[in-house]
Structure 1
């Protein structure tokens, strides 16, 4: 580097110029080393941004590490709130401060996937899978015989081309060059056919042994028992999930769509109703709101609360109604108060009646207390409203009446 300094830069393996494997004897073979590195990367708690799995933990989220977002395709993480798992896609939210892509409660999703696995791993389904495996193994043997025959034909053509080349007169260079080219082409075909045969031979799955078939059949009875056992730790259930499930994709719209891909490539689509939000779970029954609207025609907030409690109608929180709860419901559902309903019906306030009769509003209050006029309780603060008095109303004499000098009681008090 500049100034004579040595600069070391670590490059990914695909950018290395030279890679020589098994140059020296080691404790592990190169294949074992690669397998260990892949396993370590898979179980790392944090290893790059493209990791699709993580080691199973003790938490209650059954699909931790195998859930993908159905909107952006990224891996979803787990968050716990009040010991309840939530799956959320927050990759872009963490890095670029954008809103979370989607989040959803995980308990119903976990239950649906677990139920799917229990329904899938039945003795009948495993028997069908074993029959399909036997059929694939038989077809693999047929394909192997066809590839072996192809190799033999290529070997025969290469041997024929070699004998033709060796039998030609060396003096005839034009014919010799043509036969040599044919021989080289036959050798290339033989090498390709042999390579394809060896590759397919090593990747093909042979027929299952009787011991393996017995273990698979036993799994149909052991898996439900182990899965439903309360003593089974959540980490072990997650390990069973990873043995059976490749990926789970979640998408939330007006419902929750769950796409489950099993190890064998079989896919399932599940649909769940969208869980209610917290305010929806605490929402008061619409029938109770209708009853409250009827009660407010004749009763105040506190009286309406008492009547609802007597009828056994619950609130959204499951608690007895109070005056403050009735006020909150009135404001939330835009219900008119009892006082407003009385005023809308033409009933007068104490001030309005006082102006109509030409007296002080305190006089109206005294008349109500003395029973001269009758008021209607408008709210829980002791405020009354009044109907306009009819023609039979007799106005009381306002003030203390003057006494005559001939009144004996007056004379006695003035002596």
Structure 2
């Protein structure tokens, strides 16, 4: 189960929206090649019709008593008709391929789905056979080396690259439905910031699943905490530690959430995240830093990148 989870996560990382975009581009190139083949087949079919009509005229003009010549002309006529039938079948097949190509609406849908690949992978409608077909399409083989307490995996991709992974082995008496230590640590840290009903969507957006492969709900988070003896989040717990989240920091400074995000990304306001998509945690004392106050007062500084230029705006007359 742990190997399955580790390999699935690595494959989902590889099948990113950029990879899907590349696949769609390849489909478009194949469609162009198919269109060119279709034009060539249509020209060949036109020539084959001409040759079939010519062979028929020759057959009709021969003396029936000359059986040797008539037989040869009949064979040529039949060969021409077989060529016509073969080309017509090829043209029908190529036209069906064109009609089944990815359209604009389907392209938009695929790119939208690409943003939530873990949810698609773990959806109940996705069969085991479908997942296996995807894995076989991108992976050539998986080599596993067993060591005490851990497994070393080498994923050989179809393109020739390889990726190394490490998976912890189950300890003696540990069943396969035990949640991994990373998830337990993640819930521990999130529980110091958020209540159960807010932890569940964070875990689901990250693609983290329970030990039985289920998505998280408020009840499952609560049961998980109870089993692992993780204290519940208390209202006002962050305030006691003098910590703020993004919205609280924005309200304290009287600015928008996006302004706080810019300050964090510019390195002016220290902040930490337990994991991607988790709330930013900001120390209350950092809001009074001179660099932060100056940036808010004067606005965000213009980038020093020479490729970015300021556009002058002239007021209306």
Q: Confirm or deny a common fold (TM above 0.5).
A: no
Superposition TM-score, scaled by structure 1 size? 0.33
For the pair shown, which has the larger CA radius of gyration, 1 or 2?
1
Instruction: Kindly indicate which of the two structures has a greater share of residues assigned to helix.
Output: 2
Superposition TM-score, scaled by structure 2 size? 0.42
